[in-house]
Amino acid sequence: MIKYIEETVDYLKGKGFETPEIGIILGTGLGQLIEHIEIIKEASYNHIPNFPTATVEFHKGKLIYGKLAGKTAVVMQGRFHVYEGYSLQDVTYPVRIMEKLGIHTLLVSNAAGAINLNFKKGELMLIEDHINLQGSSPLAFKGVEFLGERFTDMSMPYDAEINTKFKNIAKANNIKLHEGVYASVVGPQLETRAEYRMLKTIGADAVGMSTVPEIIVANHLKLKAAAVSVLTDECDPGNLEPVDINDIIAHAAKAEPEMIILFKELIKTI
């Protein structure tokens, strides 16, 4: 993997991706942030050596480098998932690339279902902890110790200082920002009523199919990391209705402007 990482980083540096400070991963239906970036360079995933290719129709598949809120940032417009057939090492490969390019902070967004019935679709949740239900770890491979400490501490996977800033920004801008635990499952099927009841029992406030692998690798690489979920559906097992993926995308787009405010105001302070 070290050789692959070096090839990818050399390619991107040759394309003008120079020392970004912040890395950002945009989740399902969350692409409006790109409109706020002063784009300097961009590269399609299928042109980047050793990079996976996004296969989900609502994930664009571009790596973008530019200025956002006065800082240099590299942004993933479209991410990778285990449910696309990728390994957890593939899913998190871009985080390793962003770290080698120079980022010190990783910000992640996702669309998630609300397990906590006090949370409503269209609202935001700041992730304060997570539960990994993807069946493995992105660190479970031979040679991982050459890229960082194998037994990575996860007592505080989401940076407390950044989370405090997010909460203060939300309050100052009258944004409803819940705080909770995110459970990451494989997907792509949505959960059954019994699975929603299980998730609530084990302490999850929201559920999705991403984010946790990237956060694990960010901690492996000693990056500061934080994540915000846009809640796109309400997972009430007692009153469960069929979910339309187009409805999920629509709710993500509707709530995204508030997420953009959080990200832009935060980036000004780091």
Superfamily of domain 2-267: Nucleoside phosphorylase domain (3.40.50.1580)
Q: Which H or E element spans position 91? A: helix 88-101
SS3 state at 84: helix
pLDDT above 60 for 59: no
State the chain's mean pLDDT as an integer.
Answer: 93
What are 222-270's pLDDT values in tens digits?
999 999 999 999 999 999 888 887 888 888 888 889 999 999 999 999 8
Higher pLDDT, 18 or 251: 18
What are the structure tokens assigned to 137, written together?
């770890």
What is the CA angle 105-59-115, rounded to 5?
75
Q: Which residue has the tokens 């929201």?
A: 206
Q: Does residue 52 contact residue 32 with C-beta atoms inside 8 Å?
A: no
DSSP strand pairing (105-114 vs 22-26)? parallel
What are 211-226's pLDDT values in tens digits?
999 999 999 999 999 9
What are 74-88's pLDDT values in tens digits?
999 989 999 999 999
Residue 228 pairs with which residues in a beta bridge? 109, 126
**pLDDT class of 55 with cuts at 50, 70, 90:** low
DSSP strand pairing (105-114 vs 206-208)? antiparallel
C-alpha distance from residue 103 to each of 16, 53, 109, 222 (Å): 15, 22, 17, 11
Residue 224 pairs with which residues in a beta bridge? 105
Q: Does residue 220 contact residue 149 with C-beta atoms inside 8 Å?
A: yes
